[in-house]
Amino acid sequence: MTALAKVDAATVAGQDLPAPAPAPALDGLPLTVGLAAREVLVVGAGPVSVRRAQTFLEAGAKLRVVAPRVDQAMADLAARAGDHLVVVARNFTTADLDTPWMVHVATGDPAVDAEVAALCEQRRIWCVTAGDAALGSARVPARTAVTTPAGLVRIAVDSGDPRRSVRVGRHVARSLATAPAGLRARRRPDAGWVALVGGRGDDGDLLTVRARRLVHAADVLVVDGVADPGLLAELDDDVEVVEVGPALPADRVAALVATRFAAGHGVVRIAAAAALAAESRDLEGVGVRFQVVPGVIRGGA
C-alpha cells in the first residue's frame, strides 16, 4: 500500500506559510549536488519514494524516511542499507526539517506535498516534490552514464517531462556509445591508462564499439602503418597519433607507450588480432598495466 504521510496539524496551525515557488523558478541552473554523508529526508514511503531512496543511497546520502505507513519494498531497502537508511513510522512534523540538507516528498496527497514544500521554502531547504515538480525548488533529472578509462561521463536530462527525459538520456548514451565524441579527460590524472585494441589502424570500421569509445577517450593513438583518415577526422586536433613502421623494433614501441602512460596519458595501441599476444608480452615487459579489447575478424581475411 502506498504510504500517505499527513502533516501534524498542530505543527503548522497559525503559521503564515509562504506560497510555493512558481514553475519558472525550476527553469534555472542545473547542478550536481554532493550528497555523500549528508542527510536527505524522504517524506512518504511508497513506490516513488523507494525508487528515489535508491538513487540517494547510490549518491552516498544518509536517509531518514518519515511516513505513517511503509511499503514492504521500503522496509526491505532499509534492511539492506543498514544505518544509511532509517525509517520512522509516524506523521511528518516540522521538527523533521531541523537537520536535512534536502527533502523529497511523495505522499500521494497533493495537499500534504504542498505543505511540506512550503515549509521547506520557509526554511530554505531544497525540496523535490515528486507529485508536482512546480511545487518544489529542485528536480531530479533522468540520469545515465558512459564509461571511459578516466571515469564515468554522467549525463543528466531535465525536460520537465520525466518520461521524455528518460528517452532523451538513453538516446544520448547510445549515441556516445556508438559514435563517441568528446570523451577525453581534459584534467591530467595522476596515472594514465592503456588499451591494447585488436584491429587495423587503416580501417576504423574493423574496430568494435567499445574500442571506438576508447579511441575517442585517448590522448595518444599508436597504430601500425598509416592511420585511417576517417578515424583521424573524428579525433580532437591535439590527439597524438603515432604511426609505427616495420623498421621500429617492438621494444621501442612498448617503451613509447610506457612513457606516455607514465606521463598520465590515455593510450590506445591498435594492433592486428594475431599480434595481440606478442604486444601484450611487450607491454608487460615494460611494466604497463593495460586492458585488451579484441577486434572484429573480417570473414575470409
Task: Answer yes or no: are the C-beta atoms of 106 and 127 closer than 8 Å.
Answer: no
Pairing of strands 220-224, 240-244: parallel
HEC profile of 159-184? CCCHHHHHHHHHHHHHHHHHCCCCCC
9 — pLDDT class (breaks 50, 70, 90): very low
Q: What is the pLDDT of residues 144-200, one digit of tens each?
A: 887 777 777 888 888 777 788 888 888 887 777 666 666 777 666 677 899 999 876
Q: What is the pLDDT of residues 61-120, one digit of tens each?
A: 999 999 999 999 999 999 999 999 999 999 999 999 999 999 999 999 999 999 999 999
Give CA–CA dist 103/113, Å, rounded.
11
| Mean predicted confidence (pLDDT) in 127-139 | 90
Percentage of the chain lying above the pLDDT 90 cut: 48
When mean pLDDT is compared over 29-33, 93-97, 154-158, 230-234, the highest value belongs to 93-97
Question: In this structure, which long-range contacts are made by residues 137-143, counting pairs with CB atoms below 8 Å and at least 24 apart in sequence?
Answer: 137/21, 137/25, 137/26, 138/26, 138/102, 139/26, 140/52, 140/55, 140/104, 141/30, 141/165, 142/166, 142/168, 142/169, 143/55, 143/169
Sign of CA dihedral 10, 13, 47, 120: negative
Model confidence at 3: pLDDT above 80: no
The residue ranking higher by pLDDT, 163 or 222, is 222
Give CA–CA dist 169/98, Å, rounded.
35
> Is the full-model pTM beyond 0.75?
no
Determine the pLDDT at residue 300: 42
Cell of 35: 550528497
Give CA–CA dist 113/160, Å, rounded.
18
Largest CA distance in the chain: 87
Determine the pLDDT at residue 103: 98
245 — pLDDT class (breaks 50, 70, 90): confident
Determine the pLDDT at residue 17: 54
Model confidence at 13: pLDDT above 50: no
Give CA–CA dist 301/290, Å, rounded.
27
| Mean predicted confidence (pLDDT) in 213-239 | 87
Three-class SS state of 33: coil
Mean pLDDT lowest for which of 181-185, 255-259, 261-265?
Answer: 181-185
Short-list 246, 269, 237, 272, CA closest to 256? 269
Determine the pLDDT at residue 228: 85
Model confidence at 267: pLDDT above 80: yes
The residue ranking higher by pLDDT, 150 or 44, is 44
Question: What is the chain's mean pLDDT, rounded?
Answer: 84
Cell of 277: 599476444
The residue ranking higher by pLDDT, 138 or 142, is 138
Q: What value, to the nearest 5°, has the Cα angle with vertex 259 and ends 253 and 264?
A: 130
Beta strands of 92-219 (E only): which ranges? 102-105, 126-129, 142-148, 151-157, 193-198
Determine the pLDDT at residue 187: 65
Model confidence at 1: pLDDT above 50: no
